[in-house]
């Protein structure tokens, strides 16, 4: 069987099933970051993301933004776990006749963002490849008491996002601000039960939370914050690479957060029992059973 | 300017110069692993290696061995720092029409070796790419007292290797045993002043030690252990991917090690002042100034 017939998520599940880990691993493969025992008060976070030319950026994308994005998607994974990024290593696959200037710009894109978030770039590897490849592996830390996984959504939780969705292809996927500060603000001041970053698309990533938490959900068309860059609702639901936080918290906590009027945070729905499935209430009142859709490599 | 004109090492130097790190970084980019502050007794090691189809393996290489190699080269980096590997993440770039069976075999190659060395595979990323790419990032720990860098070679040190060199292209580059146990044995029982793993080739990797330590060296043709798979001395000096340990230790320590008769360890030369340069004494008595040679991507 070819992998495009199996599909990306089935392939990942297949690989995950073959992996065993020991007691040093608090959360293994499957969340935004692996969570490892570290010290009395903190866990260590560990994650990797591979960007490929022609998939995550094009031949003509400003190489500065390519480098920036390579680190930013990793920072977004740390944000999804409410952590603080600390160290990263970068592997570069570079086509033979690449200009040194281009590598300089990629490097600058990485190091500028690293500086902004006090991340140490501590190593790397360079290889020859047919297309430009950047793989960033990142370490971070998070206080044990602040760790949030995908699996903690509770019945009655309100579902929120940290910003507008859809149309990131017009540029946001390159220059988005990883929601590190927002995630820290949330866990330091509120009870958050589950969190993820929207990389694959709202419905697909919310579905990751629902599956991990064994819950159902209802979201409302009228509440989805559709970006002006989006072509419409469909785009906001499934175009992906928004890199906003998607999280759930008890109703009273959500009220506290929204009443305080912090810009950006918006409620879009509610967590229910698993049996309700995953529903979208249209503005017309029509109820739609959502089949999660979003970006898949295969 | 194109990168193949600048060359791989100049490119790496160029990138390294643009990077600043904070006090949490004991040794940054440039050694086999980054060395990070961890706890009172231990440092944490962090490293990444990217393998690319057509460079590090071919389209017809047994995928099991491709997976195995991807993790093994990272384990070899941990060995070079005398550490114990703990956790790894794996990024896969996979061409569209790849058989699921092939990914299963790659996964098995990785997980079997991970099991052998008690390494936890804790995460990964999958992307679509034109050629098969595997990037492994690895974490390890090492007792502070056992940390060895490339930069510690002393005048008068004996230069040793942990096994035969050359001809790894015939198969050893795929199924080599990362020298983790040997490295631990060395640091637990002897004073080792500098260490590296031979990935680029003996002369190139010894030159890394000499530059980092600001020393010179003399090696002897008669002492170089040439593998039966090698085409000759030239191959043993520069073919690369032997993944043996290359290390230096005081003369008396070397005597102790060699007298004890541990299989595999062999002296090949001596460390001198920088001004002597890097020399090879041929069997004929002829003295040759070595221009380090080995594998380069560009």
Share of chain B above pLDDT 90, in %: 86
Confidence of residue B58 (pLDDT cuts 50, 70, 90): very high
Tens digit of each residue's pLDDT (9 = 90 or more) over B125-161: 999 999 999 999 999 999 999 999 899 999 999 999 9
Token representation of residue B22: 């904070």
The pTM for the full model equals 0.95
Quote the minimal CA–CA distance from B64 to chain A in Å.
Answer: 14
Residues A156 and A284 grouped into a single domain = yes
Residues A276 and A224 grouped into a single domain = yes
The answer to whether position A131 is within a domain reads yes
The answer to whether position B180 is within a domain reads yes
Calculate the CA B214 to chain-centre distance.
Answer: 20
The answer to whether position A238 is within a domain reads yes
What are the helix (H) ranges across A22-96? 63-80
The overall average pLDDT reported for chain B is 95
The CATH number given to whatever domain includes residue B84 is: 3.30.1330.10
Tens digit of each residue's pLDDT (9 = 90 or more) over A221-272: 999 999 999 999 999 999 999 999 999 999 999 999 999 888 899 999 999 9
Choose, out of A17, A135, A139, A197, the residue to mutate when testing the contact with B (most B CBs < 10 Å): A135
Q: Identify the residue with better confidence: A261 or A135.
A: A135
Residues A227 and A261 grouped into a single domain = yes
Interface A–B counts its CB contacts (< 8 A) at: 236
Tens digit of each residue's pLDDT (9 = 90 or more) over A80-95: 999 999 999 999 999 9
Confidence of residue A219 (pLDDT cuts 50, 70, 90): very high
CB within 8 Å: B48 and A135: yes
Q: To which H or E segment does residue B164 belong?
A: none
Residues A79 and A188 grouped into a single domain = no
Domain stop point among B145, B180, B199: B145
Residues B97 and B155 grouped into a single domain = no
Residues A47 and A164 grouped into a single domain = no
Neighboring chain A residues of B41 at a CB cutoff of 8 Å: none
Residues B155 and B280 grouped into a single domain = yes
Ranking A15-19, B53-57, B65-69, B198-202 by mean pLDDT, the lowest is A15-19
Residue with tokens 């020991």: A22
The answer to whether position B295 is within a domain reads no
CA dihedral A206, A210, A216, A218 (to 10 degrees): -10
Residue B57 pLDDT: 96
Residues B154 and B66 grouped into a single domain = no
pLDDT at residue A293 tops 90: no
CB-nearest partner of B2 from A25, A30, A98:
A98
Domain stop point among B145, B162, B197: B145
- A90: nearest CA partner in chain B: B48
Domain stop point among A85, A117, A145: A145
Closest listed residue to residue A46, CA positions, set B292, B91, B240, B258? B91
Q: How far is CA B133 from CA A91, B58, B62, B82, in A?
A: 11, 11, 15, 27
Residue A32 pLDDT: 84
Residue B103 pLDDT: 95
DSSP-derived secondary structure for A187-214: HHHS---EEEE-SS-HHHHHHHHHHHHT
Residues B160 and B266 grouped into a single domain = yes
Q: To which H or E segment does residue A216 belong?
A: strand A215-220
Residues A48 and A178 grouped into a single domain = no
Residue A163 pLDDT: 96
The answer to whether position B298 is within a domain reads no
The answer to whether position B20 is within a domain reads yes
Domain containing residue A140:
23-145
Confidence of residue B94 (pLDDT cuts 50, 70, 90): very high
Tens digit of each residue's pLDDT (9 = 90 or more) over A156-167: 999 999 999 999
Residues A122 and A165 grouped into a single domain = no
- A51: nearest CA partner in chain B: B127
Closest listed residue to residue B258, CA positions, set B184, B196, B189, B209? B189
Confidence of residue B208 (pLDDT cuts 50, 70, 90): very high
pLDDT at residue A30 tops 80: no
Confidence of residue B9 (pLDDT cuts 50, 70, 90): confident
Contact status of A240 with chain B (Cβ, < 8 Å): no
């Amino acid at each position: 069987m070819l992998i495009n017939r199996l599909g990306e998520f089935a392939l990942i599940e297949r690989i995950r099933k073959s992996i065993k880990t020991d007691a040093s691993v608090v959360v293994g493969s499957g969340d935004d970051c692996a969570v490892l025992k570290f010290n009395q008060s903190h866990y260590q976070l560990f994650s990797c993301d591979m960007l490929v030319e022609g998939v995550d950026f094009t031949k003509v994308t400003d190489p500065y933004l390519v480098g920036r994005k390579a680190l930013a998607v990793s920072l977004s994974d740390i944000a999804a776990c409410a952590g603080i990024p600390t160290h990263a290593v970068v592997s570069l696959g570079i086509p033979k006749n690449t200009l040194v200037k281009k590598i300089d710009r990629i490097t600058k894109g990485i190091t500028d963002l690293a500086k902004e978030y006090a991340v140490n770039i501590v190593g790397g590897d360079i290889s020859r490849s047919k297309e430009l490849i950047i793989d960033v592996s990142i370490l971070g830390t998070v206080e044990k008491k602040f760790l949030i996984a995908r699996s903690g959504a509770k019945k009655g939780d309100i579902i929120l996002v940290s910003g507008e969705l859809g149309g990131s292809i017009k540029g946001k996927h390159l220059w988005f601000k990883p929601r590190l500060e927002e995630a820290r603000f949330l866990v330091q001041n509120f009870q958050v039960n589950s969190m993820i970053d929207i990389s694959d698309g709202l419905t697909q990533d919310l579905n990751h939370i629902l599956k991990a938490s064994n819950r159902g959900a209802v979201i409302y068309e009228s509440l989805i914050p559709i970006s002006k860059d989006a072509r419409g609702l469909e785009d906001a639901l499934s175009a992906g690479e928004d890199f906003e936080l998607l999280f759930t918290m008890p109703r009273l906590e959500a009220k506290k957060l929204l009443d305080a009027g912090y810009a950006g945070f918006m409620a879009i729905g509610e967590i229910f029992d698993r049996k309700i499935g995953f529903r979208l209430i249209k503005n017309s009142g029509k109820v739609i059973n959502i089949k999660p859709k979003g970006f898949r490599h295969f």
